[in-house]
């Protein structure tokens, strides 16, 4: 069973998928859009990747505030989750993504990726972290 992880941002969506065994997440790509509310092309690309990798479930990073409240970004993520459910017919699981972008930046820094280059890949790395956290929690069960 393949699962897709998404890190939804205002201008980008990081995408990751797991291996067929459901154990290991891998960042795939970062989808970029010109405007926050222009999601048609983004959804179309996600649907292409779902078909290509035979994805059965989507795990969408849920940006809760550090005090467990729901802010504007989380509300936008909830709206995006509903769009994904309607367009793909797949279950969409909201997964706490707090500090995943910070963790992704630390991984890239420790790997020697220059600061200017990190922006290009940070969202797909964050999507991989979100998905791996979900897979690990599922395994611990």
Per the structure, the complete domain to which residue 16 belongs is given by 2-140
At 43, which CATH number? 3.30.420.140
pLDDT in tens, 8-44: 988 999 999 999 999 999 999 999 998 767 899 999 9
Number of structural domains found in the chain: 1
The Cα–Cα gap between 128 and 133 comes to 8
| Residue 92 Cα distances to 6, 17, 39, 88, 105, angstroms | 10, 14, 17, 10, 26
The whole-angstrom separation of Cα 71 and Cα 136 is: 26
Arithmetic mean of pLDDT over the chain: 90
């Amino acid at each position: 069973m393949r699962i897709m992880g998404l890190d939804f941002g205002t201008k980008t969506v990081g995408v990751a998928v797991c291996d067929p065994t459901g154990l290991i997440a891998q960042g795939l790509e970062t989808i970029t859009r010109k405007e926050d509310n222009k999601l048609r092309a983004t959804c179309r690309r996600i649907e292409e990747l779902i078909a290509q990798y035979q994805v059965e479930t989507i795990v969408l990073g849920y940006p809760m505030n550090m005090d467990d409240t729901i802010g504007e970004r989380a509300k936008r993520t909830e709206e995006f989750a509903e769009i994904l459910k309607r367009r793909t017919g797949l279950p969409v699981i909201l997964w706490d993504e707090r500090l995943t972008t910070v963790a992704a930046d630390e991984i890239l820094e420790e790997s020697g990726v220059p600061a200017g280059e990190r922006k290009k890949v940070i969202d797909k790395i964050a999507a991989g972290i979100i998905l791996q956290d979900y897979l690990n929690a599922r395994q611990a069960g």
